Amino acid sequence: MNRIIIASIALALLLSCSQVKNVASSRSLLPLPANIEESKGRFIFNNATTLKIAAEEKDANAVGNFLAASPLALERGEKDSNAVVMTICNDVEGITSPEGYAIETTEENITVKAISGAGLFYAAQTILQLAAEGNGVPAGKITDEPKFAYRGMMLDVSRHFFDKEFVKKQIDAIAHFKMNRLHLHLTDAAGWRIEIKRYPRLTQFAAWRSKPLWKDWWFGDRKYAEEGSPEAHGGYYTQDDIREIVAYAAERYITIIPEIEMPAHSEEVLTAYPELSCTHEPYKQADFCIGNEKTYEFLENVLTEVMELFPSEYIHIGGDEAGKASWPHCPLCQKRMKEERLKDVNELQSYLIHRIEKFVNSKGRQIIGWDEILDGGLAPNATVMSWRGTEGGIAATESGHKAIMTPGGYCYLDSYQDAPHTQPMAFGPYMPIEKVYSYNPIDGLSKKQAELIYGVQGNLWVEYIPTEELVEYMIYPRILAIAEIGWSNPVKRDLGEFKQRAVKAVNELRAKGYNAFDLGNEFGQRKEALTPTEHLAKGKSVTYASTAPFNERYNAGGADALTDGNHGGWTYIDGRWQGFIKDGIDVVIDLGEEKEISSIAADFMQMCIPDVWMPAEVTISVSCDNTNYIELTHIGHKVVRDEGLSFKNYGWEGAAKARYIRYRAKCGPQRGWLFTDEIVVK
């Protein structure tokens, strides 16, 4: 949907809203402003309302053109009454950020002061949100500026390709909520998505694959195809497409950050140009050969063209999940390690990162990488994007480096946002908007460390999200929580109040043609998790066999977790599911005295993508002396890979008398994770 259509829909909404009696409130804005002072009266827009801008031509044109095309349809003029008057000043009281602004509204006009064009633009978003609510804008003062300089969203366009018009549509939405970075994941095994003139095979071949859906391709033949052939599925952005996207974003004060993956996630490159891999064979390698000088020639040539297209300060170089399997056996890599006195393959990867950073720095730019770039030693000027939890970001700040926080447990938007059985297939566990909104990027950090947290980002990986409609469904409204985390003071955050504003924003997005998740009608948490369960084993001690301890990462609170009365929710990372890896579960519950028992049961979950499986066998036994056990039941289960998330109860019913209960669960051939939340005894 193009800008004109979006503007027409929004204008219709504005006109219809102007007929209702509900007044606009500054406290319904999203993200929430830093300071609001409301007073009596309101400014009413009419056909004679104009826009006056005192700013440099570039900013005046960007903001003026935007407001002219907005639902307000403001024409430029020079009058100060019945007008929105915008001025860039050297300083504005109460504002320290170049993106901050101050708005004063009276019945006569709306005046805006800012230090930069970005500040004027964000003030315009505030005015548009207020004007869309009802009859005019309430009188008063708003002083506002962002908490973090970097407020971003990452869109994976490699696993599934989305065209430039769709990208521009998302730019419109995130700009409206005062986000200022769009990170494009342009390269990965599933497809190379940017034209590089020097290496035409990247778009003639590496941008096309044999299957349209990533999951069918990834779990299938993983073959690439020639552009234009019947089996070719994919696409790429021409250099002119990239220029158009970059310019469109810049007009909305959004910087596009390109990501070119290295040294891993590069199967598509190494099949198109196999001489850059350790084995020099197509379809064999995911990691570049770090010992090969041709690797650096290729990467530097690619990055040179990328930097000519993207004016961003930062270039993202990936750096994550390198398998490193061939490096210990590759003569060129081993020669490199010997010459550079590198002790292991982590330092070998660090050598590449350092060398690429030096090249990027020579062009006046900086690098960002996923937190694995810490391995083997962090490059001198690199910024770390922390995704494997928060530890990578914290480690970066401790060494004096900037960090962008995007931990998977809060910021990965490919997770289920509602009860999984009500949702399309997702990659990760249950992550409702409440979970996202609870994140504070600087929680627990020292003042010095907090100053190095550059910002926050929400990431959408699209392995299981093949359509534009599903992309928008997964982004909105959770990206609104990321927007508020990045902009607003965490002290002022209130979940209930935020959700009310988010529901309103969702309704407006849906009216504009975005396929946002209907937040106002969510199913909610797993019912078993809502209230504690009373049963005979609640609060009783649990002993774990030494051969099958729980995993400390998923301890659910420790040794009493399986009898604390609390069931888990839709996700194994909610702190209530206890995790066991490979050796299964073998526990004994001491009821304290002999009791009549009629049932013993426990729930398990399966989610194959992150390697969480049902048990293949469950054995339940009882004893009166903790020595001689009687087997009550042995349950066999054929564990089969499936899609999505499922739950199964393994239990026994009957009549028995016992003090001790032994519950054993064994893994199937997959040898992955087992998760259970409570052993219920009645």
408: left (phi over 0), alpha (psi -120 to 50) or beta: alpha
What is the rounded (10 degree) CA torsion for 356, 360, 365, 369? -20
Please return the burial class of 447, using the count of CB atoms within 10 Å of its CB with bins 0-12, 13-18 and 19+.
Answer: exposed
Distance CA 508, CA 13 (A): 8
Concatenated DSSP letters for 188-233? ETTEE-B--TT-THHHHTTTEES-SSHHHHHTTT--B--TTSTT-E
Handedness of CA 493, 495, 497, 501 (dihedral sign): positive
Residues 144/101, Cβ–Cβ less than 8 Å: yes
Question: Choosing from 160, 265, 354, 567, which is the catalytic residue?
Answer: 265
Asked if 265 is an active-site residue, the reply is yes
Q: How far is CA 424 from CA 217, 408, 418, 461, in A?
A: 19, 19, 10, 15
Distance CA 442, CA 454 (A): 10
Beta strands 366-370 and 453-460, pairing class: unpaired
Distance CA 567, CA 37 (A): 45
Handedness of CA 95, 101, 106, 111 (dihedral sign): positive
Residues 580/545, Cβ–Cβ less than 8 Å: no
Asked if 321 is an active-site residue, the reply is yes
Tell me if residue 621 falls in helix, strand or coil: strand
Kindly state the DSSP code that residue 612 receives in the 8-state scheme: B
Asked if 93 is an active-site residue, the reply is no
Q: Which residues, in sequence order, are bridge partners of residue 268? A: none
Q: Which two tokens stand for residue 609?
A: 């993508």
Residues 618/635, Cβ–Cβ less than 8 Å: yes
Question: Choosing from 59, 188, 287, 472, which is the catalytic residue?
Answer: 188
Question: Choosing from 321, 340, 518, 522, which is the catalytic residue?
Answer: 321
Q: Which amino acid is at 273?
A: Y
Distance CA 74, CA 68 (A): 5
Distance CA 642, CA 607 (A): 8
Beta strands 585-606 and 673-681, pairing class: antiparallel
Distance CA 33, CA 138 (A): 15
Tell me if residue 588 falls in helix, strand or coil: strand
Q: Which residues, in sequence order, are bridge partners of residue 596? A: 657
**What positions carry a catalytic annotation?**
188, 265, 321
